[in-house]
Amino acid sequence: MVLIFLTGISLNHQEITERAILETTLEVCRATVQAAGEKFTLPTRPYTAESVARACDAAKSSKSFSQTIEYIQDKNVGIDKRYFLSARHHFDNEEFTKGKKLITSGLSAVKANNKRQNFQAARKTLGRLLHSLQDFYSHSNWVEMGETAPNTKLIKPGSLGKTAAKSRATCRSCNGDDCTNNILEDILRDKILTTGYFELVPGFSKPDGKCSHGGGFDRTSSTDPKGGINKDKTDSEHGHLHVKAANMAIAATRQVLEDIRRAAGDATFLQLMGINKGKALCFCIDTTGSMSDDIAAVRIVTSSIINSRVGTEDEPSAYILVPFNDPDFGPLTRTTDPEAFKRAINSLTATGGGDFPEMSLSGLRLALTGAPPGSDIFVFTDASAKDDYLLGAVLTLVERTKSVVNFMITGGLGFRRRRESNNTNDQQQQQPKAITKASSKVYSDLAQASGGLAIQTTKSQLLAATTIVTESSSSAQVLLLQAARSPGKSDNFTFTVDESVKNLTIFITGRSAAFTLISPSGVSQTSADLTGPLISSSQSLGNFQTLELTTQVGLWEIRLVSTNPYTLKVKGESSIDFLSDFLEVSEGPLGGFEVLENRPRAGANASLRVTVIGGVSAIVTEVFLVVSLTSERVNGSVESLGKGKFLARFDSIPSGEFVVLVKGQSTESSTTSSRATTSFQRQSSNSIRASAVTVSADDLEGVLEPGVPHFVPFSVLSNGSGGSFTIQATNDQGFTLSFPSTLPLTAGSRANGTVNITAPAGTASGTDVTLTIEANAPGGTDGNYVVLRLTVLIPVTDFTEPGCQLLSLQSNCSADCSASMWELSVEVTDG
């Protein structure tokens, strides 16, 4: 089927997938809500991610639910882009066995990944397998055979049914206008499965007598038997059956989702869909000798988060702990049990770490690779980073995972030299450490890039500061504005507050930043007097202050005066937010766009897809790329793609770090009885960086077999400088890798390499491995990367169906069988 954003009557893969996910998720929520003894209210049709999330009693999850649906849809339509000519991915050319294998092995991988809570990997595989599953109904003659229900054998062991021999004719010629009866009668009568042949290249000859796929791209349909049988759209050769095939594809997709639900359980299924749990909570803690106060603060904060969030929508979906010391870091502890997490934190002790700095970035890197995307990560340390050469790699990970990293730093800023001491017991030394200016910048750059904060406080204020920062990480938080100035520079900032925004809070980090606030009605208040009319409460701790504002709709201004570096964030709680992804022009024959999974190309034109969440009536009017350090803006031209999606085109991407700013109009009826239209603005929290380097790789199978080397070809293209590019491949499972350490490139040229990755024999089936291949220009001035997710699967060698034979059955069931006594005996065998 064809990727089109806007459709008439035809249903495309995105719509089929979305409908099935919404319906199945609603069923699971009904069971969950009713099991809890609560009343379940079915939303009105058509269902949306927001209305389903609300019915699930998880309104705050609508962003992560929408994000999940969009990700699964993107992976689904990606098959048309990357595997356009791979017949089995589309059940073309009668490739039934190989097509079915893609579905069943994909389904095993999804289930295995769910067991290990590797939901992102599960979503990716799910999206891909759904494409083939859905294509079965529009590319085969299943519907023409008169079937009215999906072919359950696509997801179960056993044969799909009778399939046409290679030598058996299946179609007769028809002319383009009337191809409704071109499948041979005996094929339909004997219920023999066939699919259309498809080939782009003229001159390709299909086997004699076979049906063609048909449509504009297919060259086989012009040789006898002419015509086609696909039902991709209403105007396809068998378009009169499009609606039947599409509905069957929805039903089949729901069966797959039900199958996954049965294997995973309802709670896990909802987590897979991004519903009902908050972000993962991840603590990365320096455990060297001087950290005992910090660890004590972390214990208290952990207990408080667990006590206040368990059982709520903000309950962390997972808890992750990574200790680091010197020279060690890790291991990573990951649990969903809050009590187990408390025990892990309680067992931390502060020892060792003779000479600071410590391995903070190594610890953070482990946390970023082990935590699910979009986690909240808190790094506690009082020392500089010994391993700051990892900055580039960690920035890459921050961009890819969209996790937010907050640094809670309790070491003084300066160059204090550590006193030489004979005392080897560090715990008794307790001398304050110092952070170098360079490390302080590394920490604040990382925090800024991720949308987090770098807080420096004394050990005695740490608990209060950590409490504020963790409380502000609720899933309903949206960002209205963020900016940074380094070096410091006085500047004026404006932001629009809309009706939906509650609990408006300003966060400022930086020493002695003075400000003047001006409300939409023109009232002003300065930092000299925090008790005025605009600020309802404020707190100042170390380099960090928060101001809670009285909510007033309209355009606010804040004038900041400082010569020191500072960051400014304006946050609130709201249901209106957005998702955005850069797109790249697809190299496949279908054209169109694909989601870009690495850094966009510096200086080039670009397209950004923006999806509005939480406001069915919200429209995007302007999209800007805003350079964080200067607030310089690039204005995009916006066009609507329908269904809350917009496309913004930019002539040229700014160089340096930037964020996305979206402005729009929303019709809100929640607070007032009148439906007033208000302007809103939102910013992305994660920063984006453009690059003149492109790294690409094809993970054709995405599957590793334990003990067997797997080769991933990749290619590096430089549009900037030439020279010897440094190659770095890493994976999060510690699997053996080999790759070229450098690749020679001349400006504007491409070079190829191969990564050899081997999962050790004995690796569990379903283990998900993230492979990142990075290429850095000479001098490390620019770089880019590609991220691949591979799944370890032990090949299935047992193809015999298990047998189940009824030996005896006794029951006295006459009227109500469910209240009767049954006795039966069966024999289950598996060769």
Ligand X SMILES: *[C@@H]1O[C@H](CO)[C@@H](O)[C@H](O)[C@H]1NC(C)=O
Q: Which residues bind ligand X (CB under 6 A)?
A: 471, 474, 490-492, 502-503, 559, 584-585, 601, 603-607, 622, 635, 637, 649, 709, 715, 719, 736, 738, 750-752, 756, 758, 812, 820-821
- Rounded distance between C-alpha atoms, residue 479 and residue 506, angstroms: 10
The residue (of 254 and 279) whose beta carbon lies closer to ligand X is 279
Q: Which residues contact 249 (CB under 8 A, 6 or more apart)?
A: 16, 133, 134, 136, 137, 138
- Rounded distance between C-alpha atoms, residue 791 and residue 762, angstroms: 14
The residue (of 44 and 670) whose beta carbon lies closer to ligand X is 670
Look at the block and give the residue holding tokens 């031209």: 637
- Rounded distance between C-alpha atoms, residue 510 and residue 562, angstroms: 9
Q: Least distance to ligand X from the beta carbon of 780, Å? A: 19
The residue (of 221 and 474) whose beta carbon lies closer to ligand X is 474
Q: Least distance to ligand X from the beta carbon of 353, Å? A: 34
For helices 360-370 and 391-401, the axis angle rounded to 10 degrees is 20
Q: Least distance to ligand X from the beta carbon of 430, Å? A: 35
- Rounded distance between C-alpha atoms, residue 502 and residue 568, angstroms: 18
Q: Least distance to ligand X from the beta carbon of 830, Å? A: 32
- Rounded distance between C-alpha atoms, residue 464 and residue 301, angstroms: 9
Among 246, 255, 256, smallest CA distance to 136 is for: 246
Using an 8 Å Cβ cutoff, are 598 and 549 in contact?
no
Q: Any bridge partners for residue 579, and if so which?
A: 611
Kindly list the distances between the CA atom of residue 231 and the CA atoms of 52, 153, 160, 198, in Å, as whole numbers in the listed order: 30, 21, 20, 14
Q: Least distance to ligand X from the beta carbon of 577, Å? A: 16
The residue (of 437 and 502) whose beta carbon lies closer to ligand X is 502
The residue (of 294 and 657) whose beta carbon lies closer to ligand X is 657
Q: Least distance to ligand X from the beta carbon of 700, Å? A: 11
The residue (of 270 and 570) whose beta carbon lies closer to ligand X is 570
DSSP 494-554: EEEE-TT-EEEEEEEESTT-EEEEE-TTS-EEETT-TTSSSEEEEEEETTEEEEEEPP--E
Q: Which residues contact 356 (CB under 8 A, 6 or more apart)?
A: 288, 326, 383, 384, 386, 418, 433
Q: Least distance to ligand X from the beta carbon of 314, Å? A: 9
- Rounded distance between C-alpha atoms, residue 283 and residue 221, angstroms: 59
Q: Least distance to ligand X from the beta carbon of 589, Å? A: 15
Number of Cβ within 10 Å of residue 259's Cβ equals 16
Using an 8 Å Cβ cutoff, are 637 and 96 in contact?
no
The residue (of 200 and 804) whose beta carbon lies closer to ligand X is 200
Q: Least distance to ligand X from the beta carbon of 572, Å? A: 9
Q: Least distance to ligand X from the beta carbon of 25, Å? A: 27
The residue (of 101 and 663) whose beta carbon lies closer to ligand X is 663
Locate all alpha helices (DSSP H) within 317-370, ordered by sequence: 338-346, 360-370
Single-letter amino acid, residue 212: S
Among 730, 741, 792, 764, smallest CA distance to 365 is for: 730
The residue (of 152 and 736) whose beta carbon lies closer to ligand X is 736
Q: Any bridge partners for residue 612, and if so which?
A: 578
Q: Least distance to ligand X from the beta carbon of 502, Å? A: 6
| CB-neighbour burial class of residue 158 (10 A; exposed 0-12, middle 13-18, buried 19+) | exposed
The residue (of 157 and 591) whose beta carbon lies closer to ligand X is 591
The residue (of 37 and 522) whose beta carbon lies closer to ligand X is 522
Neighbour-count burial for 295-329, b at 16+ CB within 10 Å, e otherwise: bebbeebbeebbeebeeebbbbbbbbbbbbbbeeb
Neighbour-count burial for 129-138, b at 16+ CB within 10 Å, e otherwise: bbbbbbbbbb
Q: Least distance to ligand X from the beta carbon of 18, Å? A: 25
Provide the strand spans (E) within 614-673.
619-627, 633-635, 637-642, 645-650, 657-668
112 — phi, psi (to 5°)?
-65, -40
The residue (of 605 and 724) whose beta carbon lies closer to ligand X is 605
Q: Least distance to ligand X from the beta carbon of 471, Å? A: 6
The residue (of 159 and 621) whose beta carbon lies closer to ligand X is 621
